[in-house]
Amino acid sequence: VARCARENGTGLEEAARTARHAFYARTAHESRIAHVVLGHQADDQVETLLFRLLRGAGSRGLGSIAPRSTRGGNDFTYTLLRPLLGVWREEILGFLSARQLSFLHDASNTDLRFTRNRIRHVLLPELEKAVSRPVRESLWRTAEVLRAEDEFLASLENDAVREEWLCVKSLRALHLALQRRVVARWLRARGVPDVGFELVERVLELIRTVRIAKVNLPGAAHAIRRRGRIAWIPGNAPAHPG
Amino acid sequence: VARCARENGTGLEEAARTARHAFYARTAHESRIAHVVLGHQADDQVETLLFRLLRGAGSRGLGSIAPRSTRGGNDFTYTLLRPLLGVWREEILGFLSARQLSFLHDASNTDLRFTRNRIRHVLLPELEKAVSRPVRESLWRTAEVLRAEDEFLASLENDAVREEWLCVKSLRALHLALQRRVVARWLRARGVPDVGFELVERVLELIRTVRIAKVNLPGAAHAIRRRGRIAWIPGNAPAHPG
């Protein structure tokens, strides 16, 4: 994991996540497993919401962890299930201790070098102190509301974007909220890494003003407006390094 | 303001907000003013996002402060404009000091008894420390994305709810995200105070299971399912005290 993180220039946490998911996919495929059940808890949901919020995730990320998500490619899919997302860690520990069951403790969970652990052990208690009330339940509810809304909005994106290029007229007819989602999805489908708010807004300038007809994108690619369409012009360098 | 807060059982901050808005409405009405321009800044937007998040606001509250909103009743409306929502306090102070302009400083802005000030002076610096990077810009972008999505989702609610009662079949046909918004709006329109996640979910049980046909609401009112409709049965006590 440490080597992967160095090679891909990502953080340790991100590399560990990638490695875990690669393991689920490989194991599911090899053993023909249709469902992988994970032990994420309500606390994980709340910490993920804060983690993503502080990284400036749009609503797509804020919905946090889905109780059910389907992965895989054309020939093989499997479903990740997280039945414990509505149960608090404390409740689970209480259940285990009442039945004198033992469990594995991952020592890395207390290492404050990791952002997630600082959120868990430092930030959440600070937040509760600042507003003088418990905040975990509030944050959990917010994550749940945003998750459903994100899912609904994503279903509307599907109707709006199917093309290699974007139609200026159709895009203009959409609400700003959907314009942003459609452009972000289009950029991701073209392989643009880390599609963020600023980049999406820059591409949207193409439909807002006639003065701009070309927008630079990462990897020397660009988006141009021509004959009522927004087209993708690939750069010389691959947009995905490696 | 202190007296209003005591009488209505709200906090000082909430009472001050109500008093400010009553003043805008009265002045706009008396002087036939169509636009009221307010000085909210990008920092206010970020603080509002955190404030509402910690109070468990759904996405309706998380969108934070709107750059433009119309208020008033049937005979008179006025528009609140907030042109500085994209400008940071630091930029404004820089602008003022470069031109040697003076400004009013509200002493209550440094009083740490107020949640908003604790968010500004304590929590935001803590958050930046926890993730080792600036978070204000990220939070501002998130507020902007959520505001547009909330506005869009609210426009869909309008199509879905117009009745005194709710149609079970129509409600079932909606995505969970819209079901929640429609029920919340319906409850608010019936005068239910503080419509929150739990209450909305309880009313939704009426369309999820046949085993439940009646849900208790605040103020001794209740919602019942009868002949394919969800109807509102008022309580003896008024739902709105005072």
pLDDT tens digits, one per residue of B17-50: 888 888 888 888 888 888 999 999 999 999 988 8
- 3-class DSSP assignment, residue B223: strand
Q: What is the pLDDT of residue A189?
A: 87
Nearest to A55 by CA among A116, A128, A142: A116
pLDDT digits 0-9 by tens, B169-218:
999 999 999 999 999 999 988 888 878 888 999 999 999 988 889 999 98
Nearest to B36 by CA among B24, B46, B19, B44: B24
pLDDT digits 0-9 by tens, A165-176:
898 998 999 999
Q: What is the pLDDT of residue B239?
A: 47
Mean local confidence (pLDDT), A121-125: 87
Reading the block at residue B52, the tokens are 């509402």
Quick one: pLDDT band at residue B60, thresholds 50, 70, 90? low
Residue A178, pLDDT > 80, answer yes
DSSP structural state of residue B180: H
Distance of alpha carbon A4 from its chain centroid, rounded?
A: 20
Which 3-state string (H, E, C) describes chain A?
CHHHHHHHCCCHHHHHHHHHHHHHHHHHHHCCCCEEECCCCHHHHHHHHHHHHHCCCCHHHHCCCCCEEEEECCCCEEEEECCCCCCCHHHHHHHHHHCCCCCCCCHHHHCCCCHHHHHHHHHHHHHHHHHCCCCHHHHHHHHHHHHHHHHHHHHHHHHHCCCCCEEHHHHHHCCHHHHHHHHHHHHHHCCCCCCCHHHHHHHHHHHHCCCCCEEECHHHCEEEEECCEEEEECCCCCCCCC
The kind and range of the H/E element at B8 are helix B2-8
Determine whether the interchain pair A177/B152 forms a contact, defined as Cβ–Cβ distance below 8 Å: yes
Determine whether the interchain pair B152/A176 forms a contact, defined as Cβ–Cβ distance below 8 Å: yes
Asked whether B78 and B167 are in contact (CB, 8 A), the reply is no
B122 reaches A (C-beta below 8 A) = yes
Nearest to B67 by CA among B154, B179, B151: B151
pLDDT digits 0-9 by tens, A27-45:
888 888 889 999 999 999 9
Q: Out of A54-68, A124-138, A203-217, which region has the weakest mean confidence (pLDDT)?
A: A54-68
Quick one: pLDDT band at residue A191, thresholds 50, 70, 90? confident
B117 reaches A (C-beta below 8 A) = no
Quick one: pLDDT band at residue A57, thresholds 50, 70, 90? low
Q: What is the pTM of this model?
A: 0.82
Does B61 or A124 have the greater pLDDT score? A124
Q: Residue for token digits 């102070």?
A: B93
Residue B168 burial (C-beta neighbours within 10 Å; 0-12, 13-18, 19+): middle
DSSP structural state of residue B123: I
Determine whether the interchain pair B148/A56 forms a contact, defined as Cβ–Cβ distance below 8 Å: no
A85: closest CA of chain B, how far (Å): 17
Q: Which residues 2-61 of B are in CB contact (within 8 Å) with A?
A: 53-59
Quick one: pLDDT band at residue B58, thresholds 50, 70, 90? low
Quick one: pLDDT band at residue A98, thresholds 50, 70, 90? very high
Q: Which residues 184-223 of A are in CB contact (within 8 Å) with B?
A: 196-198
Amino acid at A113: R
Quick one: pLDDT band at residue A238, thresholds 50, 70, 90? low
Mean local confidence (pLDDT), B95-101: 91
Q: What is the pLDDT of residue B43?
A: 92
Quick one: pLDDT band at residue A239, thresholds 50, 70, 90? very low
The CA distances from residue A1 to A20, A108, B66, in Å, are 10, 13, 44
